[in-house]
Each structure stands twice: as C-alpha cells, then as structure tokens.
Amino acid sequence: MSGNSGKQPTDCPSNLKEAIDWILRVTGKDGQGRRDNTRALAEAVKELLEGASGELTLVIGKNHGNARELTTLKDGLERAVTWVEKDGKLSYNLGPIGRLANGLAEFIGYKNINSSFASGTDDWRITGAGIAPSNMATHRLCDAAIAFTIGVLEGCKRNQNIKTNKTNLDGVDNVISALHGIYGTGTHGLVGVAGTVKSELSMIKGSSVTVLVSSMGSLFNSLGNDIKTLGNNATGLADKVGEYINNIINSSGSTSWTMTTGGGQIGTALKKFVSSDGTYDPNKFKSSGINDAFKTKGSYSVKSALALGTNAFITHLKAKYESAYQATTATWQQKHAEQCAKIFLGCLPLLFNGLSYLYWNCRNGGWNAVPLGEGSFQDFMYSMAYGSSILSVGKTGNVVSTAFEKFEEFQKGLERAAQARQSTTAPVSSATTTAKATYSEFLSALKQKWTESWADTPLSALYHCASCYFKCLQIKNSNNTNTSPSTIRQMLYFLAALPFSSEFGGCERHIGNLLSKPFPISIAGLKSTTPRPLTADNINTHLTITTSLFSARILGLLQGLGDSKEKSGEPWLYHLFCNGLQLRYPSGSELFNAVYDYIYAVQFQLYFLYRQCSVTYTQGCGWRDCRFGNGINGFTNAAQSHICQGYKCGNSGSTCDHKKSGTCKHNDYSNGESCGKTSYSPLQAFLTDKLDGFHVSLQPTPYSPNHLENHPRGSMCHVKMGFNGKLRDDSVPYNGRSIMLTLNYICADVGSPFRRIYENLLCLTKRTPRTLGEFFGFYWQFVVLLNSDVSNATKQFFAPAFLEESFGSSESRSSILAISNLNGSLSSHNSFLSNGVGHADLLSLYYPDCGGRRCGPYLYPLGYSFGATFSPKFASTYISWLVYLADDFGDWLSEFLERFDGLKCEGCGNHCGSHSASKHHGKENACHCPTITQCADVLPLYYEYGFTILDPIKMNGWKWDQTKRQWQSDTSIKRSCNAFHSQLQTVITGNPLNKFLESIDAFLYAIRRKFFSKISGFWTIYVCLILYTFFFLLDTLHLRSHFKLTSSHVVPPLALLTSGKPLPITKLMYITQ
C-alpha cells in the first residue's frame, strides 16, 4: 500500500511510509526534481514552537501546583526553537531538518549522484543501498539474478537428499546468506561473491537435485567472470543474466527445450527494461514479454525449486518504489507553510518510534539475519505500509541497518546502552553486551542526548521538539477535556495521544510503584524455561511505542485522513497527537486502570477483526476480500448475516459479494461483480456497528468493561467500533486483506505490540476472567502448565503457592495436580479412534487433527493471552481461581450450550427451516447449514462469549495439500452444528470435567479435614460455656436452690452489674413458697 499518488503537501500522511515520502518531497530528495523547501519549513515550525512557548508562559502564571514541570517543558520548547533556527542559518542541509531529510533519503536508498551544491544540480536516484529496489539497470539485473539463485537453492533445500546431509545443508545456507548480503551492491557485489558460491556448491554431490545445485556454482561463477568484462554495460548484462537462467533450467533436466545462444528470449525480454540512460524501468514489465519468455521454455514448473526461483526473479523485476507524493501535483506553496509545519510535527512521533524500533530489531532484536521479505520482519514493514512490491525484499536486517548510516544517533545510542548494561553486570565483551541491550535501554540512551545537542541526534532532537509541543497543546486545552472513550476508535485516539498527556508521567510512576512491591513480578509463558523479569522502563517504553505508533497506524488504515476536515480543520496527525477529540486523561492509578481497560478492549476486537479478515469466503466465510471505505455499502439497518455471499470481487476471483440477509445458499455467486456496490459488505457493517450480533443499540458512556446487566454470565458486551461516517475516503476502496496484513504484526502474533503490552499489564494486576473464552483459555493453559514437561522450570515458581493454598497438605496438593485429564493429551487423541461418544476433554474442542472423529478446532479464546501468561507473584490467585471458580466454569459451559441450542438460524433465512422455542438447533437434522462455519448465527454467539472459530477453513472441509501446493476439499474434516453440540455436551457431562470438579472437592476436603477436630473442640467448649452461664450463673431453670451448698444462695455477681436494685433473697418467689 503505497498510498494514493498525487497527494498534495497539505494532505497529511497516514502512516510511516507516507511520512517519509512527505518529508523527502518537501525537501526535494525523492528523485523527482530539486525543490528544497527546508528553510521555509523550518521557519514555519519555529513560529509554531514560539507560539506554544508563549501560551505555556501564561499557563505557568495560573498553575502554581505544576510550575516546576511546566517550566521544564517551557525550557524544552525554547531549546527546540534554537535548534530549528539552524536550518535557516547554517549552510545547505546542515540543520536538524536537513540532516533528518538526508538520513531518510539514504534509508530509502536515494543518493545524490551529483555532489555539487549549486542550485538545481542535485540528482537523487535510488541506488539500491536502502530498503527500496534500485532504479539503476545493472543493480536491478544483478539483484534479479541473485533472487533467482536464492529461490532455486531454497527449493532444493526442501529436498530430502539435501536435508539428510548436514554438511551439504550448511554449504547451501552459507551461499544463501552470502547472496542476501550483496543485494543492492550491483556488479561489484556479485563479482566479489561468485568464487565463494562456486566453491561452496561444488562440494555438493550425490543426487539429481544436488547435481543441479553443484552446477549452479559453476554457472554463477561464469556469470561473475562475464560481468568483469562487461562493466556497467546494462544491455550486455541482460543477455548474460538471461543466459545464466537458461543454463540452470537446462541443467535441471526438467525441460525438453535446448540451449540457446546468448540470453535467448529471456535476455531479449530483460533488455526492454533498460533505458537509454542506464536506468531500470519496471513500468515496462507488461510489455517486456518476460512471462512469455519463460512459458515457451517448457514445463519448468515441474521442479518446485525452479518455480520458486522464477517467482523470486519476476518479483524483483516488477518491484518499484513509488512515493505517495508526486512532483507533478505535490508542490510547495508558501501560503500553506503553517499547515505543512503542523504536518511535519505530526510526522515526528511516527518517524522516531518507527525507525528506532526498526533499527534496534535489525541490530539486536532478531532480524539481523532475516530477509526483509520474510517472517515478522516483513509483517512489521507491511504494518508500516511498506508492501513487498516496493521493497528490496532479499536484504537481511543486518544489511538494512546499514541504511541508517546517516542516523549516527542510533549507532551511538546502542553503544551507550551497551556501556550502561556492562557497568551494571559482570565484565563481558562489548559485542555480547550490545547484543543483550534491550529496546528500552536503547531508547533511554537516545533520550540522554536530548538536552545536550541536536548536531549528533537530529531525529531525537526533533522528536523532543514535537513532544514538548504536543504536551503544551494538551495542557492548554486540558480544561475542555471531559469526555471518556466509549468506542474502539476513541480508545485508539486516547492511546495515540497518551504519551503527550501531562498525566502520562503519573501512569509511569504508578507502574514503577507496582513493580517495587516486595514480590518479584515476571511473565511465565507456557513454553518459558524461566520467567522473564519485568521492569518499569521496559513496560513504559513498549507502552509508548504501542500507543503512539501502532494505534496511529490502525487509525490511519481504517479512517485514513478521516478527521482532517472535521471541526478543527487541522492535519490528521496533528489533530491526533494534540488530543483533538478532547478526551479526558485521569491521573495516577485511575489512568493506569483506564489504559488497561482500553488496551484490553482494543486487543479483543481487533484480534477478532484480524481473524475474520484472514480467511476468504470460499474457504471459511471470512472477510479477506470484503471491501470497506469510500463508496462501499454498509447496512442501513442491522444486517442479519456476517457471511459474504457472492463471487469474483473485482478481478480477485474471490467470493465477497454482500447481500443484505443471508439465505444459507452458500454457492450463490450471481451478483459477485457488484462487491460492496449494489450489495452490502459485512466488513463495512462491522466497522460501522451495523452488523447483527456484533453491535449494541445503547452503550454506557464512559466505557465500562463490566456493563453486563442485560447479558448472560460469561458473555461480554460488544464495544462499538465507532467508524460510522469515519472510514477512509480514498478513491480506491481497501479490502480485508489490507487489514489482515497490517494487524498481523500489531496484535495477532505472540510478541506483537498490543498483545505484549496487554500481557505485561496483565502481570501487574489481578483481573478475574471476564468471559467464558477467558475461563476456557485459563483452565486449558494452566492445566497444561501444571502437567507439561516443557514448563518444568516455570512450575517451580508455583510450588510455594500450592503449599500455601493447601496449608501444607500433600493430599490436597496431589488432588490439584491430578487434573490433567481435564485438558487431555495429544497422544490420546492421535491414538484413539472414535466415531461415537469419544473424547470428553477440553482438547476435543480445539484439537485441529481429529481426522474423521467428532472433535475438532471449534473454539479459540479471543483473550488467549489471559490464559497463556502467568506471573509467579499471583500464583495463589491463579490457584484460587482454579478452585473456587470451577463450578462457575461448568455452569457457563452449560449456559453456552443452551444458548447454542436456542439459535434459530435467523441469519440464514428460511433455508434452515423454522426453529421453534424448543431449542433444538444442535440436534441432528435441525440445522441444515452444510457446516458450522456456514451457519450465520454461530459466530455472533461465539464472539459474545469470547471465542472465535479456531480453524474455520478446516471446519468448512478444506485442507492444504503440501505436495500440490493448493487447497483440497475433504468431507471427513467437515463439522456441523450437530457435531459441535454433541461434542460440547460430551465435555459437559463427560468424565474429565466431573473428575476435575471431584478433585476440587477433594482438595477442599483435604484442607478442611485437618480442622474438623479443632473446630469440633472449639464448638464443644463454646456450648459448655453457654450452658454453664445459663444453668449456673443465671439459674434459668431455678436449680440452684436445690443444691445443699451455701454458695448456691449467694447473690450472683452478674446481678450487681444490673441497672436496677437487686431483690433481696427473701423476695424470690421460689424461696418464699
């Protein structure tokens, strides 16, 4: 997603990529012609900062309580003014804004190949040194040849003959690593590594596949030798690259076509990409004939390795970096200087947080050896709007980190973090210390220089300027903030502006106080060998980046510039960070609780949105091809079905037409071409709170996570998304796939930012599970933790808690540890075949490989992290949940089943028959939907109870064929509503749950039994004292006069304590008579 071309400088960026493109366009360093407006921009920014400083002076005079903090903030603003002035006084590009622009240009890969500073003589081109693919023909052709080689080698690695020989595999890995390291280096890099490739691959012998690998070494070396003689002759290089690929395909023996002279058709096609000035033009891909050149070579695709290589080759030929701001439309106008200055300040939080996070991960965070187009590295780049089609995807993180060469502050900050860590630990080597420096330590090292100088830290210094500025604006407008968030959109706004709130420091201090308690707090995951400690700096750092960077990114994706033309008319990022919605930030612990609740709600619903957008309609009735945004029809009133019903969404070939109500005719694709135009999009309806089962008519304000008055136990009231009338208004609508790719890194995977900060906050508080899904996840995961050998090292942290909760009773402890049958085991499911009543454990409700049996991947808790994260500090609390909430867990499962049986398939029209009030939806032949995935009423019920379908694709009867590399239909893995009803009923009435409840009773009995005799003794003494008082002291039965003892006629001492005059003994009735 490169954004819309033709944006104006007054159009605010909505993501990190567009923020960088905007700065490079304004400063003229994007290769579209030199129009450097750095000085004009600096002057406008200076005026904004001076105005804020003056406003703050007035605030200081009125606010005596926070005068010290406000004075510090004012000093920061005044310092920022002097820094920005440098761009107007110093020589060309030597001020902080100029240096920042130079660094961003090299990060993308732009380089000024004309070193003269004379006006109009700059020539910025993408050389391939940054993250973007080169637009120099020789560089691009070499990169394409490298990509083909890596692709073929990766395909060969999958062959068993290679895998069985570790030495051979190491040789292939060494070559792949070396090739990744020379992306973007052009002919020089390829020639330098050619000999290494030949020597490594020539040692691999022994099979048809290894013959191909071995021959590639010689062919690659020959290509290197040819390049030596060609120099920078791009046309000749195209022929040689074509010849190299021809030879590899011929040597594989997989085709019948013969060797051709020179590059053949491939070389001829490649030469069409080369312009007369030696640049590379990817726009000529369609007319180059490269696809036809490969097709005429025979059935090259029969070899998966060649197919991978070919795909990589073509991907690199097509890749093209495009700026969101084109020179033909994006030109500087002085009358918009103030607007541009506000946009610039709004871009700085994205730049600082995004680039520092990327640099640290490329150096210390695990991406140093990962190619840019793979794994979490690729996911992060896409979340920042850098799609693979505009990147040099073969580069590893270690290579990408060199693109930050101009940001010397990053390198020095990492060195300072290493020194600080080394000073607090045992002496170790510098390299080892640097590798262990955390992201929070890295940022702390960067912040140390904010108050000293801008010269070595342009990005950090400018971010400090923006931070002071937005804090000043929030303080100025604090009297007008009286609204608390009540929708997901407002919560994202709240979180994005949080780091610039005057109350954020109080929240950070509260987190520090929680961590200063006498008990150590750490996170124990299910696969943790040892719990990892939490620190206040670590939590606060990740809270800052999660809120200001990733919250802004989500808003930018869903609403684009939705607020840029609202009441204030301010640029969107500016409006966002200065708290333009005027949301109220409480103080101290109250703010911490609010942040926890909002992050919980955002993670819960965005994760559900991600899961829905990860699946196509044909595979699992998902929203991946559903559209949202400009021109897309939502539902006028509440829609009945969340299932798309149609075919061929545009040119995608995927089914996503949207009918107002479902009919359960799941193969009705009659109106597919109208996708979201004449029909309706359930994705659009969900985002605008008009999808039946996923919206509420009324919702309390402010938001409260416990507004369950009208909801069954174990369910969660839906929080409105809040994007009705606020979705992006681009000319081209977006689809669910863009949401999936963006949220994949932000909130989906283990370790994703929102999930990680939620887990951290979870370990600081004792929050009881709110939904059945969280209960289910807790019991599932905690039982796994107690009974899994994987977590033996973690279980020792819970041993003292068991001892404490069981009062030292070994019998009661053994009762708790004997609950493994509640969850079940993979081995039992793999070995036990059942076509009737079978497994009754929790695993039977989420196990993905049940084959033809009734169990299956029905349930997945949306609050999975709640059950998969444990702090040893709260071990006793977890055990108390396990014991005292067990009955509730069983009751909630029964209520869930009852609600399921009460579904009437209203979202499926009349196709499923008329359901009466007898609640028989789960009974055999009651629901006629082919699978539970296709039953429109099931997912809303799952969602209400905190679940989603774990694997809707498999439940819908599809499985991935690894050999054929395609989806295949398999009726044996389909699951119906009746199958789920039967399986859940089996779990509720089955032996594991009942044994679990019995073990809880045994646990409680074992604890209480040792107190029975003591309690009985205490009660006996108590009763005796009561009897003695009544019978002897108070003489209620008039027995004392019959005792032949003098003392029996003595007035009781208690009578002396009465308020009246005691009667003489002769006046007592039973004596005178």
Per-residue pLDDT band for 555 (boundaries 50, 70, 90) equals very high
Q: How far apart are CA 911 and CA 919, in angstroms?
A: 17
Residue 455 main-chain phi, psi, to 5 deg: -60, -40
900/903 Cα distance (integer angstroms) = 6
Q: Which two tokens stand for residue 737?
A: 């796939």
In whole angstroms, give the CA distance from residue 276 to residue 129. Answer: 22
Q: How many CB atoms lie within 10 A of CB 63?
A: 14
pLDDT-based confidence at 433, cuts 50/70/90? very low
Each residue's pLDDT tens digit, 455-507 = 778 888 889 889 989 998 888 887 777 789 999 999 999 999 999 998 898 89
Of 220-224, 542-546, 791-795, least confident by mean pLDDT is 791-795
The DSSP code for 334 is G
**What is the band of 427 on the pLDDT scale with cuts at 50, 70, 90?**
very low
CA distances from 172 to 154, 192, 203 (A): 8, 18, 10
More confident position, 434 or 208: 208
Mean pLDDT score, 137-155: 90
Confidence of residue 164 (pLDDT cuts 50, 70, 90): low
pLDDT computed for residue 759 by the predictor: 87
Q: What average pLDDT does this structure show over 836-842?
A: 70
Q: Over 70: is that where the pLDDT of 971 sits?
A: yes
Model pLDDT, residue 591: 93
Stretch among 85-94, 693-702, 918-927 having the lowest mean pLDDT: 693-702
- List the structure tokens of 999: 């073990």
Q: Do 858 and 897 meet the contact criterion of CB atoms below 8 Å apart?
A: no
**Which residue do the tokens 């955390």 mark?**
438
| Res 637: pLDDT | 56
Picking from 510, 478, 737, 725, the residue whose alpha carbon sits closest to that of residue 614 is 737
Q: Is the pLDDT of residue 207 over 50?
A: yes
Q: Which of 121-135, 623-637, 769-783, 850-864 bottoms out in mean pLDDT, i.e. has the lowest?
A: 623-637
pLDDT of residue 668: 38
Confidence (pLDDT) at 1046: 61
Question: Is residue 696 packed enough to be buried (19+ CB in 10 Å), middle (13-18) or exposed (0-12)?
Answer: middle
Instruction: Round to whole Å and give the CA distance between 280 and 237.
Output: 12
Tell me what the pLDDT averaged over the chain comes to: 78
pLDDT, one tens digit per residue, over 216-232 is 888 899 999 988 888 77
Q: For residues 907 and 132, which has the higher predicted lDDT (pLDDT)?
A: 132
Answer with the residue of higher pLDDT: 943 or 632.
Answer: 943
Among 676-680, 746-750, 752-756, the minimum mean pLDDT is found in 676-680
Residue 628, beta-bridge partner list: 734
Say whether pLDDT at 238 is over 70.
yes
pLDDT digits (tens, 9 = 90+) for 25-70: 988 888 887 667 888 888 888 888 888 888 777 776 666 456 667 7
Q: What's the average model confidence in pLDDT over 810-834?
A: 63
What integer is the mean pLDDT of 343-355?
Answer: 94
Q: By CB neighbour count within 10 A (0-12 exposed, 13-18 middle, 19+ buried), where does 796 fall?
A: exposed
Q: Mean pLDDT across the stretch 120-146?
A: 85
33-47, 176-190, 232-246, 749-763: the lowest-pLDDT one? 33-47
pLDDT at residue 118, as a whole number: 46
CB contact set of 766 (below 8 Å; sequence gap of 6+): 874, 877
Contacts of 122 (CB under 8 A, 6+ apart): 28, 29, 34, 36, 112, 114, 116
Which residues have C-beta within 8 Å of that of residue 412, sequence separation ≥ 6? 456
pLDDT surpassing 80 at residue 253: no
Which one-letter amino acid corresponds to residue 285? F
Beta strands in 611-727 (DSSP E): 627-628
pLDDT of residue 300: 44
Whether 271 contacts 235, CB under 8 Å? yes
> Which of the two residues, 1068 and 235, has the higher pLDDT score?
235
From the number of C-beta atoms within 10 Å of its C-beta (0-12, 13-18, 19+), residue 253 rates as: exposed
Tens digit of each residue's pLDDT (9 = 90 or more) over 275-316: 888 889 888 888 888 888 877 654 444 467 788 888 889 888
416 CA to centre of own chain: 30
| Section 1026-1049 average pLDDT | 68
712 class by beta-carbon count within 10 Å (0-12 exposed, 13-18 middle, 19+ buried)? middle
Predicted TM-score (pTM) of the model is 0.87
Q: Given a cut of 70, is residue 803 above it in pLDDT?
A: no
DSSP H or E stretch at residue 736: helix 736-743
Helical H segments across 132-207, by residue range: 137-157, 160-163, 166-180, 186-201
Share of the chain above pLDDT 90, in %: 21
The pLDDT-based confidence of 916 (bands split at 50, 70, 90) is very low
